[in-house]
Chain A
Amino acid sequence: MALEDVCGFKEKLFSTLEDTTTSVHDYCNLEWKGQETSEKIPHHFFMPHFSQTNFSISRTPSPFGPRDRSVTVRRPFPLSHGTTTLGFIFQGGVIAAADTRASAGGLVACPAVHKITPIHSHLVVTSSGSGADCMLWERILIREIRLYQLRHRRRLSIRGTAKLLSFMLHPFKGTNVCVALTLCGWDKEDGGPGCAKNSEDTSCKTDDSPSGVISSATHSLSPNCGPQLIYVCSDGARLQGEVFSVGSGSPYAYSVLDGSLSWDLSKKEAISLAREAVFRATHRDAYSGNNVDLFLVTAQGWSQRRREDLKEEYYRDMERKAQKQQSGTTQVMTCKK
């Protein structure tokens, strides 16, 4: 396989890694030991640490698999999916939103983290779970997608990307890898603008249709074209859907989204709905907070909204409630008279 050659994997290399006393040190140094080729490419950073065992050398080495599953690095503190991320599809594309708090146990390790990462111009991924694992796997995914594009001269579809990611994560099932990603993207067929037109046509048709059921059927029947939302998780789940929310704040976000989500939202309404959902989740969930990041993916690519501090949103919400209350009481008083 070409990738193996690029990565420099050769069977006899594993014999040098049997020395366990220095294997942790090497792991940190990210260097091959005793490799004949001159370039020192850090490939094995994604292989989990393994102790001295007898490898079966006849087994074809896969670049992504763990050798010995029984040994894993112990976590220094209990991790949790302390986040709120969400993504949903509507007629104007895909919205991806997330908070920006990274928590480690009870400490806010970083109040300004990027949980939404662009993979390529038409795909954005939201991450949840272990921050380190997510960052790593996002980089691996970016690299693999780019390699695919260079080799096959076309971009991998979102569904293909999800499948690739799922298969890359599969060998780590049962280990402590904790990654829950939502791929939010726009698939373009080779006739790029044609695809966007198709979805516009279907949306025009749905406006005329009498019952709401038909509209949902036509816009979800877009196999390789248009907005796509796929959830991939290190447990092996790979789910396609129209709305996903992941993390400890997800129940709070789900109820806000379920209440107002529909295919026919305008861009402004969709953005404000996503912001409201993240705001409600950060209000109640201790592990979500600080700011909200919003990405919109359309046929033209992804665009990012300026990061907004939710503190301001909270004060605005309080003001709005106070104003409503005042106008409500004046109404009651006039009615009484």
Chain B
Amino acid sequence: NKLASQLSVVPIQFGQINPVPSSSAIPSQESLLTSSSLPTSLPFASSQPVPLPFPMSHGTTTLAFLFQGGVLAAADTRSSCSGLVACPASQKILPIHSHLVGTTSGTSADCALWKRILSRELRLYQLRHGRRLSTSGAAKLLSHMLHPFKGTELCVAATLCGWDGGELFYVCSDGTRLQGKLFSVGSGSPYAYSILDQGVQWGLTVAEATSIAREAVFRATYRDAYSGNCVDIYHITSKGWTRRRREDLKEDSKKSEAN
């Protein structure tokens, strides 16, 4: 099948030293992985990892929660490199497809790459099987794709927020995959957790949920040095995701100083 052979070509080379045939790579229940191109391109732990140039940390605040109006995801926009604000306007919430959004935490480069890989794999699944993979399936897929890198310096902590089933999953490069109603990830997450615990319940309106999410990120950026600048808010419903205009938290802090 010409289409199948085209789909099995890997456009991206990951610099692997010894490409190994796919079937032995990942013990996975999903049949698509055994025939797809992905396992051949994954380097194994035996290859030389690139040493990190500076100590990294999960310097961020991202959060996501479920409520009656769908799923709300929020994050700050500061990318830090151990003391330097490398980018004050980075995107930590990356859309994967029209009804799935992922928040990222950990190493920005790793997160961006794995999000793209995940989008590609989900699109391939959709083309092959004629239906979209559920959020739970997407989380499992990401988790299995990250598994060969366990023990290396890969650092990805993502929250997948999707409408297929209205689910929220936390996937991490050390192998964790958790389903839940409320997650916050990153160095600013404890600060956000308190505010979310106070206010989040099922029956919130969209406006209330947005203001709680913004307040939580704001409180975290107030106390955490590695979070700051602006806040991004994404709202996922049955119609897809919508993004609020990015708001600079400087105005919020000016208002609270004046109070």
Report A's interface with B, CB cutoff 8 A: 211-213, 251-256, 258-259, 262, 276-277, 280-281, 283-285, 321, 324-325, 328-329, 332
Contacts and interface: CB of A to CB of B under 8 A. Distances in A.
| Listed residue (B190, B192, B193, B257) with the most chain A CB atoms within 10 angstroms of its CB | B190
Nearest to B192: A255
Nearest to B184: A284
Contact of A284 (B193, B219, B223, B259): B193
Interface of B: 190-195, 197-198, 201-204, 215-216, 219-220, 222-224, 257-259
Contacts of A251: 190-191, 194, 223-224
Contacts of A325: 201-203
Given A213-B258, A255-B195, 14 more contacts: A211-B258, A212-B258, A251-B191, A255-B192, A255-B194, A255-B223, A258-B219, A259-B195, A276-B198, A280-B194, A284-B193, A284-B194, A285-B190, A324-B201
Contacts of B195: 255-256, 259
A252 B259 contact: no
A17 to B, nearest CB: 44
Label chain A's interface by main secondary structure.
helix
B191 A259 contact: no
Contact of B223 (A211, A254, A277, A321): A254
Contacts of A324: 201, 203
A255 B259 contact: no
Nearest to A327: B203
A329 B219 contact: no
A11 B220 CA distance: 54
A258 B258 contact: no
Given A211-B258, A262-B259, A328-B203, A255 B220 contact: yes
Given A255-B219, A255-B223, A321 B191 contact: no
- Ordered nearest first, which 10 A-B pairs have the shortest CB separation? A251-B190, A255-B219, A328-B203, A255-B191, A280-B194, A325-B203, A252-B194, A255-B194, A256-B194, A321-B201
| Listed residue (A255, A283, A324, A329) with the most chain B CB atoms within 10 angstroms of its CB | A255
Contacts of B190: 251-252, 255, 284-285
| Listed residue (A211, A254, A277) with the most chain B CB atoms within 10 angstroms of its CB | A254
Contacts of B202: 325
